[in-house]
Amino acid sequence: MDTLLNDLIKVYVLDSLTTTMQLVVSQQGDAAVRTLTGAAIACYQFLPRDDPITLQAIKYTLRIIDVGKKIPAIASLKSAFELIITKMKRPDRLERTDLVQAELPPVLHPEFEDIRTKNEEIADAELWNTDSLCYRYFNILH
């Protein structure tokens, strides 16, 4: 399970980096910063400090800055990208506002309540219900 969550975060970070580059090239500066911020938080808050993916993210962000320099509409965002790099490099200097808070999304509340109350020893239609977690997870994964 820990590997699964780690892999999910890493794939998300890599996807965010390439998406940021696409947004920069298509001159969508705000969306690019927003996307890269999510990736940076994932790196410094969820991954181990020396994880190679964080180094990859820092290097890729430098490339994004280089590409952005050549696009006038993006050039002004250089400082924002550099600040993101600083946060990834020095997670010990982060402020509370740089971190996301733990919060269970409201959409998951009913499902968590079902899990809490379910008597696991009573048979259910799990394998006959394609909305069940095992099928849903499979479908989302694919």
Report the residue number, 92 or 141, with the smaller CB distance to another protein. Answer: 141
CB-based contact 136:114 (threshold 8 Å):
no
Nearest to 91 by CA among 31, 29, 41: 41
CA distance 94 to 37: 13
- The least CB distance from residue 127 to another protein, in Å, is 6
Rule CB under 8 A: which residues touch another protein?
1, 4-5, 8-9, 12, 15-16, 19, 31, 34-35, 38, 41-42, 45-46, 99-105, 107-108, 111-112, 115-116, 118, 120-124, 126-127, 132-138, 140-141
Instruction: Please tell me the distance from the alpha carbon of residue 45 to that of residue 47, in angstroms, as a whole number.
Output: 6
Nearer Cβ to another protein (31/71): 31
Please state the closest distance from residue 35 (CB atom) to another protein, in A: 5
Q: Nearer to another protein by C-beta: 47 or 65?
A: 47
Residue 1 beta carbon to another protein: minimum distance, rounded to whole angstroms: 5
* Coil, strand or helix at 105: coil
Q: Which is nearer to another protein, 70 or 83 (CB)?
A: 83
Check: CB of residue 62 under 8 Å from CB of residue 56.
Answer: no
Distance (Å, whole) CA 66 – CA 64? 5
Smallest distance, another protein to C-beta of residue 34, A: 5
